[in-house]
Amino acid sequence: MNVDEQVSNYYNLLLKRNAGEPEFHQAVSEVLDSLKIVLAKDPHYADYGLIQRLCEPERQLIFRVPWVDDKGQVHVNRGFRVQFNSALGPYKGGLRFHPSVNLGIIKFLGFEQIFKNSLTGLPIGGGKGGSDFDPKGRTDGEIMRFCQSFMTELHRHIGEYRDVPAGDIGVGAREIGYLFGQYRRLANQHESGVLTGKGLTWGGSLVRTEATGYGCVYLTNEMMKAHGEDLEGQRVIVSGSGNVAVYAMQKAQELGAIVIGFSDSSGWVSTPKGVNMEKLREIKEQRRERVAVYADEVEGATFHSEGTIWSLAADVALPCATQNELNAEQAAMLADNGVRFVAEGANMPSTADAIEIFRERGIHFAPGKAANAGGVATSALEMQQNASRDSWTFEYTDARLQQIMSKIFKNIDKTAREYGHEGDYVIGANIAGFKKVADAMLAQGVI
């Protein structure tokens, strides 16, 4: 059987065994495409059922999360934790609270996390979790009771050497606080290393809040330099306005770029003169309001509830909201409007067809598993600080983040070249991330 047939067989079996999980299929399909190239050169990576084991989570937990709202009404949500692969270290990956969450979404995120965590060069395995709970419009008390109920089950399955969750969509500093409080109460010990993204006075790390956005911009700048450009004076579109997007905008502007638009699920704002970061952070982080409010309060900014942010003319695009937010038609729009670089702050924001368009139109493209790895890398730095009962300065931690992002870019660039696909950072990231995990799995036997 040739490599193509071998990989198609794995994939067809996976489709059958994981029906109704299109995002998981999409994530696996992209990685398997890259692995065909590895297997043609190094066939031993198919030995000992390695590929099948890699695509099957080590453990999948689904649990009931009952909670009581402010009016005394009972709600029942579903909680998930997928512990995908621990060959390199304890499972590590965020928790997402969003009504769209289901097992397939958590599996796609957990699968991506394996390769991303491997690319950081730090000893962390891959996992992901969350719930279909919708935090929008909920009071502080409701959020707290939900987090406490969620942790009441999850606490049995996590630990600093077992599984270390963090935030993701809908889970920020406030939620991590409530989750950690309940864990500490149930475990009857102050185990800092069990969660990352903690508050600075109780085990958190400086730069963790900024890390995913900053890291995405550091990697973007490295990619641009490799092609004779940098961010100075460039027009940048950033989708979303959550944790990743806000700090991507901030760092891009610090490096001399002009952020000409951002968005949320209600629409997008065009900001031809750049973004007033202080104002945006006040609206999003303190007042927790929608992006339309920014346009109401800042001169020169306009809100659009129709159309797409991807129609803006720009040089660089950073999708930082959610999966499959950028399709083929929009990718073509970006190319037509002058975009030359795209880096994914979010997980899998570009559809497979959009990535094909980037390839065809010569857009330099950094996939999420490389471009947004700065968040989890800094989480691993938080774990290091917790283990040594230490806390590092902002400058030192930021310098470590920059080094990590620069190493990731060099690694994916070199790997793409080695395997004959120079400049294809999707292939570079998939292969470089895969080989480290695969070597560990082969060394550790069939488990």
Binding mask 373-402 for ligand NDP (x = CB under 6 A): --x---------------------------
Nearest to 168 by CA among 216, 98, 63, 217: 98
Residue 266 CB, nearest distance to ligand NDP (Å)? 6
Q: Which of 104, 165, 240, 433 binds ligand NDP (CB under 6 A)?
A: 240
Which window, 19-27, 47-55, 239-247, 434-442, contacts ligand NDP (CB under 6 A)? 239-247
44 by DSSP, 3-state: which?
A: helix
Q: Which of 177, 204, 345, 433 binds ligand NDP (CB under 6 A)?
A: 345
Query: Is residue 264 close enough to count as binding ligand NDP by CB under 6 A?
Result: yes
Q: Please list, in sequence order, all residues whose beta carbon lies within 8 angstroms of the beta carbon of residue 23, skipping any fewer than 6 positions away.
A: 104, 105, 107, 108, 323, 324, 348
User: How many CB atoms lie under 10 A from the CB of residue 33?
Assistant: 15
Catalytic choice (107, 128, 198, 369): 128
**Segment near ligand NDP (CB under 6 A); pick from 69-77, 243-251, 299-307, 418-426:** 243-251
Please give the annotated binding residues for NAD(+), written as ranges: 212, 243
CA 85 to chain centre: 17
Task: Please state, in angstroms and as integers, the Cα–Cα distance from residue 247 to each residue in 98, 119, 145, following that order.
Answer: 21, 21, 29
Q: Give the contacts of 352 (CB within 8 A, at least 6 positions apart).
A: 26, 29, 30
Pick the binder of ligand NDP from 118, 234, 241, 276 (CB under 6 A).
241
Count Cβ atoms within 10 A of the Cβ of residue 389 and give its class: 0-12 exposed, 13-18 middle, 19 or more buried.
exposed
| Residue 127 or 242 with smaller CB distance to ligand NDP | 242
- 104 binding ligand NDP? (CB under 6 A): no
By Cβ distance, which residue is nearest to ligand NDP?
242
Residue 347 found at the interface with ligand NDP (CB under 6 A): yes
Residue 142 makes CB contacts below 8 A (sequence gap 6+) with 67, 69, 70
3-state secondary structure of 226: helix
- Would you call 410 a catalytic residue per the annotation? no
Using alpha carbons, select from 95, 72, 287, 310 the residue that is nearest to residue 183: 95
Q: Which is nearer to ligand NDP, 170 or 193 (CB)?
A: 170
Query: Should residue 243 be labelled a site residue for ligand NDP when binding is judged by CB under 6 A?
Result: yes
- What are the counts of helices (DSSP H) followed by strands (DSSP E) for the chain? 16, 12
Q: Name the burial class of residue 57, with classes exposed (0-12), middle (13-18) and buried (19+) by CB atoms within 10 angstroms of its CB.
A: buried
The DSSP code for 255 is T
Query: C-beta of 409: minimal distance to ligand NDP in Å?
Result: 16
Distance of alpha carbon 402 from the chain centroid: 17
Q: Which of 28, 54, 169, 217 binds ligand NDP (CB under 6 A)?
A: 169
User: Is position 170 an interface residue for ligand NDP (rule: CB under 6 A)?
Assistant: yes
- Among 117, 118, 148, 212, which residue interacts with ligand NDP (rule: CB under 6 A)? 212
Residue 265 near ligand NDP by CB under 6 A:
yes
**Shortest gap between Cβ of 142 and ligand NDP (angstroms)?**
17
Residues 17-56: x where in contact with ligand NDP by CB under 6 A, - otherwise, as a string? ----------------------------------------
| Active site positions, annotated | 128
Contact set with ligand NDP (CB under 6 A): 167-170, 212, 240-245, 264-266, 320-322, 325, 345-347, 372, 375
